[in-house]
Amino acid sequence: MVRESQKQARNKWDAENMKVVGCKIRKDQAEAFRARCIARNTTPNEVLRKAILSFMGEGEAENP
């Protein structure tokens, strides 16, 4: 279980160093995407993060 102090520290770091990027797609496409991610044992966040970094030419960047 994560202690409250650890959660606060993580949230502070995220607020200073991270940004949420979003897009709009049709609901049926979003549901199909999520289902395919689950089937491949990954998350939508991981797939999109890798796609963005690949598009920018950064390849596999380290997670913070």
**CA gap 14, 16 in Å, rounded:** 5
Provide the pLDDT confidence category of residue 64 given band limits of 50, 70 and 90: very low
Secondary structure class of 60 (helix, strand, coil): coil
- Residue 39's domain comprises 24-64
- The answer to whether residue 62 scores a pLDDT higher than 80 is no
**CA gap 29, 12 in Å, rounded:** 33
Evaluate whether residue 58 is within a structural domain: yes
Evaluate whether residue 5 is within a structural domain: no
Instruction: Give the predicted TM-score (pTM) of the model.
Output: 0.73
Provide mean pLDDT across the span 1-30.
Answer: 94
Evaluate whether residue 18 is within a structural domain: no
Whole-number pLDDT of residue 61: 52
Whole-number pLDDT of residue 42: 98
- Per residue in 21-61, pLDDT (tens digit) is 999 999 999 999 999 999 999 999 999 999 999 999 986 65
**CA gap 7, 40 in Å, rounded:** 29
Cβ contacts of 33 within 8 Å, gap of 6 or more: 25, 44, 47
Evaluate whether residue 2 is within a structural domain: no
Evaluate whether residue 8 is within a structural domain: no
